Structure 1
Amino acid sequence: MVVGEVIQERELIIVGGGPGGYNAAIRAAQLGVEVTLIEKGELGGICLSKGCIPSKLSAHTASKLSDYKHLQQIGIDTGEPSFNLDQHRKYMEQTVSALQKGVESLCKANKVEVINGTASFMTGSRIGVEIGDTFEMYKYEKVIIASGVSSSVPDVFKMDSESDRIFTAQTIYEIEEVPEHLLIYGTDYIALEAATSFRALGSSVTIIMDETDGYGFDADIEKELSRVLKKSKIKVMKNSVVDSVEANDEQVFIHLTKGEDEKLSVEGTHLLVSAGFTPNTKEIGIDALSIEIDESGFIVINEHSETSVKGVYAVGDVTFGPSLAVKAIKQGKVAAEHCAGRKSELNLRYIPTIVHTAPPIATVGLTEAVAVGEGFSVTTGQFSMSGNGYAGITGKKEGVVKVIKDSETNLLLGVHMIGHGAVEMITSGVTALEMAARDEDLMYGFFPHPSFNEGWLEALESLTGEAIHVTPGKQQKKSAAEPVGSRD
C-alpha cells in the first residue's frame, strides 16, 4: 500500500454518502463551505441501493399486480397478469443507477469533492482514507459522521455457514426468486412491507412475532392492519420465541415456543430476519473521537446534530432515534447549516413514520394511549375509508383515518392513517402539529371532492360529532387522563 506523503487539510469532511451525508454535503456547499465527502460504496448509501428505493419499488409493483381485479371491475381486461422477477430486477437496477448518477451530478455541480474510499478516524482531527492501494491522511476543521448501520441478526439466526435462504433488511430485495413460503421474523416497517409485497407477488407469508406487543402503532391502526393481514391470508404467529433455526438447500426450519410451553416448528423456503440495526461506528475508529454514545452504541447528538465534541456532528441511522431516511435528511441539513454558522436546530417529536404496506400506513404525533399516559384528556375522531367516495371509485376502500386532540385546548396531538394516499396526506398532519393547529384550523379550508383527502375532513369533523358520512354512534370518543402524569 502506498502512503501519502503529506496531511491534506479540509474545511468540512463528511463520512458517508447516504441520504444524510449527501444532503449535508450539498447544503454545506450551497452555504459556501468547502466540502469533502468520503463514501466507500455508491453515493446514496444503503437507502438508495438496498433499502428505501428497492423496497418501495417492490411495494409499487405489488400494488400494480393487486389492481388487476379492480381493472376487470371497471371494464379493462388485458388477461391475467404474471410477474417477471428478472425484468423487475433489471428495472430496479436501472432506477437505482439513475438515482445514483443524479446524486453524483448534484455533488459535482455543487463542487463537492467526492472520495471513494474507506475512512477511519485518528487523533488530532485527522482521518485516514484507504483508496484502493493508497492511503491518504486528511485533517479537518469540522466533520459530519453519516456512516449508517448494519442489520442486526440475533445469535439464534446465525448459521455455521451463511445460507442463501436467509436474508436481512439490507439483502432481501437482492433475492433471485419469488419465495414459495417466506418466513418473516420481526414487526417493524421493513417486515410489514416485505410481508404485503411478497404476498402480492405470490408468496405464502408467515410473520413470527416474539413477546412484542403489536407493531408499534395506535390501537385502531393496529386493529385495521391485523384485519388487512388476515384478509390477505398472511399468517401471524404471536408470542413466539425462536429456539433454533435450521436451513438446507431447499428449506428453512424454525423451532419455537409459543406462549408458555407450546413447542412448534415452522417450515418455509426463505427467511427474512428484521430485528433492528447496529451502528457502523467501530469500523470507522470512532473511539479516537471520545464522543458520547448510548448503551446500544448509537451516537448522542444535540438539537444541532452536534456530538459531545465541538465541531464533530453525526446524522442519520448512526444516531439514536428511528432509522428513517427522513430523519437523516433533516439532520444532515441542520448539521451543515450549523457548520456554516446558522442557528439551525431540529426536534424529532413530529417525525412521520410511513410504511408502504398494502394499504400504506402513515402516522405522526402521539397515539391515543401515549397521549393519555402523558396526562392529556383526549378526544378522538375516526373515519373508515370505506365511506369515502373516491376510495369507492378506485377500489381502495381499505383503511382508517384517526385524529387525536387535547379535549381542553382542542390542539391536535396525533394523526394516524392506514389506507391509500396516507403517505401523501400525512404531510398535512406534520404541518398541523408543528404549527400547533386546532381542529377548527384544518376544517376551515376546502377539501377537494372527490378525493382521498376528504377522509381527513371526516375524521376531523367526527371530533365534534359532525362528520357527515359517519353514523352518530361511531363519531367522537373521549378518554380521560390517567390520575398520575403531566404534559411536561
Structure 2
Amino acid sequence: MVVGDVTTGTDVLIIGAGPAGYVAAIRAGQLDLDVTLVEKEAYGGTCLNHGCIPSKALITATDVAHDARNAEEMGIHADPAIDLAGMVDWKDGVVDQLTSGVEKLCKANQVNLLEGTATFTDEHTARVSHSGEGQGSETLEFEHAVIATGSRPIEIPNFEFGDEPVLNSRQALALDSVPDSLVVVGAGYIGMELASVFAKLGTDVTVIEMLDSILPGYDDDLKRPVKQRANDLGIEFEFGYTASEWHERADGEGITVAADPIEETAADGGSAEAVEGETGESLELDAEKVLVAVGREPVSDTLDLESAGVETNDRGFIETDSRARTNVDHVFAVGDVAGEPMLAHKGSAEGQVAAEVIAGEPAAIDYQAMPAVVFTDPEIATVGMTESEAEENGFETVVGQFPFRASGRALTTGESDGFVKVVAEESDGYVLGASIVGPEASELIAELGLAIELGATLEDVASTVHAHPTLSESVMEAAENALGHAIHTLNR
C-alpha cells in the first residue's frame, strides 16, 4: 500500500467495463454482492465505443446509401450524397446512448464505479490509479476479482498506429472524410467488414492477405458469396503477401504501401494456407490511407498479474476453466482476455457465469451453442459443429440446405445470395450445427442456436410452423431438406 492511499474493501473487484465486465458487475449486484467496477476509459469498452456498435452503425448507413444507389431493378433511381461527418455524428449518438445506459444500469444495481487503471499488488489487493493530474490512487481489498480487460488491435512492424496515414479499426471508424483510396492489411472479419464499408462509400480498396483466401476459419462455401460481392464492389485482393513498410509519395499525394511475397506454408486455424505471391515480386500500392486489421491481442500486460499469481499462456491470454476461474481460485477472467473466440456475447456469457459462481450458484459455461457472426455483405453466421467437425467427433451426419434464391422473402428484398445449412445426427436427428450466409444471417442463427441448446431434432424445427413470407422459413426448409421432404427446393 502506498502512503496516503485510501483503502477500501469490496466483495468483487471487476477490472474492465466492456460487455464481459459490466455484465458481470450487474449480475453480481443482482445477487446482492458488493461490487466495484473499474474502467480506465469508457463504459461499454471497445465493443460499444470503438468496435461492434459503431462498425455496425456504419455498415447499416453505408448499406442504405449503396442499396438506394443500386435499386434500379426495383424501379428506384437515386444517387445519395454521402456526408461521412454526419454519418459519424449519428454513429456517435448511438454509442453515447448505449454507454450512458450501461452506466445507469450499473448504478441501478448498486455497482460502485471507479474511473482509473487497476493493477494487482497481491492476491487480494489492487491499486487503482485515477486519471488526471493530482487525482492520486487508492487501494482496494477484494474477496474475488474478475479480469475483463479485453483486447487491442495488433500492430505490425513499420505500421505504428500513431502515424497519421496508418489506421487501426478504431481510427477508421472515426474518420470524418472518405479517403479516395485505402489499403487494408488483413482479410479477416474486421478487414472484410471495413473494406466493404469504404468500398460502398466510394473508396478504391485493395486488401493484402498472406493466406490464399478471405476469412480464415470459415468454410469455402460460406466465403464464396462474400468474395463475389466484394469483387462486385470493386475491392481488389493481393493474396500471398505481407505488408512490409510504407512511405509518403514524392508528389505528396498519399502514401505507397510495400508488400512482400511470402513462401508457401500451412496456416493455423482454417482451410486457408499461406501462399507465395503470384508474381514472386514485391508490390507497391498507392493509397491515401492504410488500415491494419491483422487481429487483436489480449490486454493482460497492464495488470501486474504476477503479483496476484495469475498465469497467462504464451500469447498473453489468461486460461480459465468452465467456471471462468483462473489458476487462482478466487480470480476469474472473462471476455477477450480469456481467449478465443473473441466475441462480445461470449464475454457477456462468461461474465454472468463468473458472477454466479462467486455467489455460490452452480453455473458453468457451455460453448456448444455459441454463435459466431461476420457482418460482411452478405452476412455469415455459424453455431455448433460443421459437418466435418461432427464427423471428426464420431457422428454419422445428415445435412440439409436451402438456398435463398428459392425464398420468396429473400427475392423481395433483392438479397438472394447464400443459403441455410443444418447439420444433424443421422440416427436420431439431433441438431449438431448450422451455418448461414445471406441476408439477416446474424438474426436467423439464433433459432438454430436454441435448437442445439434445447437438444431439438430436425423434426422439431421442420414441424414448427414459420410465418410466410419470411427469411426464417429457410431454416425450416433446410431442416425439411435434411429429412428428405423439403417443398421449395429439390431434396438431396
405-414 vs 106-115, which deviates more? 405-414
Residues 157, 10 of structure 1: alpha-carbon distance in 2 compared, 3 angstrom cutoff: same
2:329 equivalent in structure 1? 310
CA distance in 2, matches of 1:327, 1:4: 40
Q: Mean alpha-carbon deviation: is it higher for 458-467 or for 98-107?
A: 458-467
- TM-score with structure 2 setting the length: 0.90
Pairing 1:32-71 to 2, within 5 Å after superposition? 32-69=32-69
Once the 2 structures are TM-superposed, how far is the Cα of residue 75 of structure 1 from its aligned partner?
A: 4.9
d(CA) in 1 for partners of 2:100 and 2:364? Answer: 30
Is the contact between residue 16 and residue 146 of structure 1 (CA under 8 Å) also seen in structure 2?
yes
Q: CA deviation at 1:242?
A: 3.2
Name the CA shift for 1:380/1:240 in 2 (closer, same or farther; >3 Å).
farther
1:259 is displaced (CA, Å) by 4.4
Aligned to 1:91: 90
Letter in 1 for 2:152: S
Match of 1:240 in 2: 241
Contact 2:15 2:21 in 1 (8 A): yes
Q: How far 1:201 moved relative to its partner?
A: 1.3
> Which one-letter code corresponds to 1:371 in the other structure?
A
Cα shift at 1:247: 4.3
TM-score by length of 1: 0.91
Gaps of 5+ in 2: 262-276
Moved more, 131-140 or 46-55: 131-140
Residue type at the aligned position of 2:157: D
Which of 457, 460, 484 is the matching residue for 1:465?
A: 484
The one-letter amino acid paired with 1:470 is T
Partner of residue 118, structure 2 = 119
Query: Which residue pairs with 1:211 in the alignment?
Result: 211
Indicate which of 354, 369, 373 corresponds to 1:350.
Answer: 369
Give deviations 1:96-118, integer Å, cap 9, x for gaps. 11111111111111111101111
Q: Does structure 1 retain, via aligned residues, the 8 Å contact 2:301–2:316?
A: no
Measure the CA separation in 1 of the matches of 2:260 and 2:76: 46
C-alpha deviation, 1:353, in angstroms: 0.8
Q: Partner of 1:484 in structure 2?
A: none
Aligned to 2:353: 334
- Matched ranges for 1:218-367 at <5 A: 218-247=219-248, 250-257=254-261, 258-259=277-278, 261-367=280-386
Residue 404 of structure 1: SS of its match in structure 2? strand
Q: Per-residue deviation at 1:213?
A: 5.4
Cα deviation, 1:48-105, whole Å, max 9, x if unaligned, reads 111111100011112111221565544555x421110111111122221111111111
Show CA shifts across 1:110-144 (max 9, x none): 11110111111101411111123211111111111
Cα gap change, 1:374/1:187 in structure 2, threshold over 3 Å: closer, same or farther? farther
CA drift of 1:10 comes to 1.3
Identity within the alignment, %: 33
Number of residues paired by the alignment?
Answer: 469
Alignment root-mean-square deviation, CA = 2.0
Query: Secondary structure of 2:260's match?
Result: strand
Instruction: Say if 1:42 and 1:243 are closer, same or farther in 2 by CA, change over 3 A.
Output: closer
- Aligned AA for 1:237? E
In structure 1, the partner of 2:269 is none
How big is the shift at 1:214?
Answer: 4.3
- CA gap of 1:401–1:247, structure 2 versus 1, over 3 A, is farther
Deviation at 1:408, TM superposition (A): 3.4
Other structure's SS at 1:398 match: coil
Paired with 1:255 and 1:236, the residues of 2 have a C-alpha distance of 12
The Cα of 1:3 is off from its aligned counterpart by 5.3
Distance 1:187 1:373, change over 3 A: farther
Determine the structure 2 residue equivalent to 1:480: none
Partner in structure 1 of residue 467 of structure 2: 448
Instruction: Provide closer, same or farther for how the CA distance between residues 200 and 5 of structure 1 changes in structure 2, counting only shifts above 3 A.
Output: closer
The residue that corresponds to 2:195 in the other structure is 195
Which residue in the other structure is 2:142 paired with?
140
* 1:405 correspondence with 2:406: no
Contact 2:458 / 2:483 at 8 angstroms: preserved in 1? Answer: no
User: How far apart, CA to CA, are the structure 2 residues paired with 1:315 and 1:392?
Assistant: 41
Shift of 1:209: 1.4
Distance of 2:345 and 2:316 partners within structure 1: 21
CA offset digits 1:163-211 (Å, max 9, x no partner): 2221113322022321222211213211121121111111122222113
Matches within 5 A, 1:469-484: 469-471=488-490, 475-476=491-492
Tell me the residue number matched to 1:419: 438
Conserved in 1, the CA contact under 8 Å of 2:410 and 2:416? yes
Residue equivalent to 1:479: none
1:350 match: secondary structure: coil
- 1:288-320 superposed Cα distances (whole Å, 9 cap, x missing partner): 112232120100111111111011011111111
Q: Measure, in 2, the Cα distance between the counterparts of 1:124 and 1:208.
A: 45
Q: Report the CA distance shift for 1:426/1:288 in structure 2 as closer, same or farther (over 3 A).
A: same
2:9 aligned residue: 9
